[in-house]
Structure 1
Amino acid sequence: MMTPRVALVTGATQGLGLALVQGLARRMNAADTVYLTGRDATRVAQAAETAQKAQAASAGQTAAVAPATGARVRGEVFDVADPEAAARLAGLLRDRHGGVDVVFGNAVMRIGPADDPGAIVDTYTQVNNFGTTRLMRAFAPLLRDGGRLIVVASSLGTLHHLAPVLHDRFDGLTSLEEVDEQVAAWRDAVKDGSARPGAWPGFINIPSKIAQVAAVRALAEQRRAEDARRGILLASTCPGMINTPTSALWWDVSGAPTPDRAAVPLLDLALGDADPAYYGELVRFGKVLPWRP
């Protein structure tokens, strides 16, 4: 008998994260569990109820009846900015299930054009960057054979978008600790203003996404041989432009896909056969985006 599968999505109370939960629940089996996580207990409960209703509707049942097909959706409070939360949740899932099969690192602090980078960069990096590396440290050891750990990043997360003088800050890093050190140095430069006259991009999303991809690359180098033997995929992914209120603050997204549509290639990556060429790379729409210019 197959072991029931377990999936986890961070930042899952709305948008792409919620779409990933709903997509996983549809594609997985009734014995499986999808964990919908977020930092606010009320929003987690509401989103889990929304996902369960959608799951029941897709099965042609009432919301009061558990779907006979598709995975169970279970809400858990998980604030990735809490330094202890990832290890705590990993221990909980290890005790309940023995391991995990799919992890989507999707939690993100969004910024608007009016936000002052120096004022928000502390919180921003705690969520987007240190939250990502803590998730990877906690959950990569729990991956079962054939498992997937996927960090939702961006096509901005390559060295093409960074001045060449800064490439060595993130290129060739060999540990998550080295990535965290570089993120901390960049964060401090944003806070004290020294990044502004330097070569750093003014849009703090760019170095943050580059650091996320660098973290995946660093962990992949440590795990590559063993993960290949066990059929595990570790990768970052770009979902492309998505029609959400936050994206609309920056760009015209009227023609962009909805979160449900944007989730499809990510779900294919998580649940389909993995091309070995994807391992440790940034994948967009089934293609690897080059890390270096």
Structure 2
Amino acid sequence: MPHHPRVAVVTGATQGLGLALVDGLAQRLQPGDTVYLTGRNYDHITNAIESLGSTAAEVHGEVLDVSHPHAAARFAAELAHRHSGVDIVINNAVMRVGPDDDPAAIVDEYTQINNFGTTRCLRSFFPLLRPGGRFLVIASSLGTLNYLAPVLWDRFDDLATLDDVDDQVAAWVEAVKDGSARGGAWPGFVNIPSKVGQVAAVRTLAAQRRDADADAEVLLAAVCPGMMNTPTSSAWWDVSDAPTPAQAAGAVLDLVFDPVKPEHYGRLVRSGEVLPWKPTDVA
């Protein structure tokens, strides 16, 4: 049977988990397949590609700044022209936050990458996904309503459109910037509402796409890779015994290459298990 070349895209792929995912994809895909290693800095992209050993699939570097309002759409148009579609998208682009960062000072840039970047990629790349495709958003176990006060649940639960998700994230951003979030029910750790917003985006698009994607054997899911031994994580916690990014990438890649499990669709998955969206859910 002839091999139909597959195309994969990984955002935020110049280091850490993103680079490990590119390496894993390129090792497990076949000759003739293409993996796009993307990031914001050309030199970092070049260095990342040079750090890879021999791979089965070809790895191509591409500058992609998901915080730019039109960058994902432009790259998606290029992919449609080059390949007519894509098979795997892993949305990994992220801005890290440190213990000493002032939330009000960083929240705009932070959400432009982590949240609005996610919804831009969902809007731009998902329509290109071919039958049997995978679209995974790297998130966190913090991205469930369990970590928000119940009074905030309605802001992210059962939203109708990705625009609604963006509106709720934008409202939270303004509350952080004007200081009202600090005196309200919002958690002080900006990572929590941001990750909840990412998972809400996946859930929202999945609610619209579920039947069509089931027929096409497409998987759309948020993924928690778990705690990793990285410099960013070590600023917050003792991660000396945590898996490396290469080790953590394994469970993510299993979702790419294993048959679709219907219970994973539109959900937050960690090590193959579904994490409940809120306490009343049954995983």
Q: Which amino acid aligns with 1:167?
A: W
Q: SS of 1:30's equivalent? A: coil
Deviations 1:137-188 (A, max 9, x none): 0001000000000000000000000000000000111210000000000000
* Aligned positions of 1:52-131 closer than 5 A: 54=53, 56=54, 70-131=56-117
Structure 1 residue 217, shift from structure 2 partner: 0.2
For these two proteins, the number of residue pairs brought into alignment is 278
Matched residues in 2 for 1:272 and 1:174: separation? Answer: 30
Does residue 234 (structure 1) correspond to residue 220 (structure 2)? The answer is yes
> Per-residue deviation at 1:2?
2.7
Specify the SS of the correspondent of 1:215: helix
Residue matched to 1:32: 33
**Structure 2 portions without partners, runs of 5+:** none
Correspondence for 1:48: 49
Structure 2 equivalent of residue 210 of structure 1:
196
Deviations 1:184-211 (A, max 9, x none): 0000000000000000000000000000
- Residue of structure 1 in register with 2:259 after alignment: 273
Please name the residue that 1:284 is paired with. 270
3-state DSSP of counterpart to 1:160: helix
Aligned to 1:192: 178
- 1:45 and 1:75 map into 2 onto residues whose CA distance is 7
Cα drift, residue 6 of structure 1: 0.4
Aligned to 2:18: 17
SS in 1 for 2:185: coil
Residue matched to 2:154: 168
Deviation, structure 1 residue 71: 0.6
Q: Which amino acid aligns with 2:197?
A: A
* Partner Cα distance (2:202, 2:228) in 1: 23
C-alpha separation in 1, matches of 2:160 and 2:149 = 21
Q: 1:76-108: per-residue Cα shift (whole Å, max 9, x none)?
A: 000010100000000111111110000000000
TM-score relative to the length of structure 1: 0.94
Query: Gaps (5+ residues) in structure 1?
Result: 57-66
**Distance in 2 separating the partners of 1:90 and 1:204:** 29
Listed as ranges, the matches of 1:236-255 within 5 Å are 236-255=222-241
Letter of the 2:244 counterpart: T
Cα RMSD (Å): 0.6
The code of the aligned residue for 1:287 comes to E
Look up the match of 1:140: 126
Partner residue, 1:183: 169
Deviation at 1:50, TM superposition (A): 1.4
1:174, 1:43 → 2: CA distance? 38
Secondary structure of 1:103's counterpart equals strand
Instruction: Give the Cα separation in 1 of the matches to 2:78 and 2:50.
Output: 22
Residue 18 of structure 1: SS of its match in structure 2? helix
Mapped partners of 2:79, 2:257: distance in 1: 20
Write the letter of the residue equivalent to 1:15: G
Counterpart check, 1:2 vs 2:9: no
Amino acid aligned to 1:123: E
Residue 264 (1) aligns with residue 250 (2): yes
Give, in angstroms, the shift of residue 291 of structure 1: 0.3
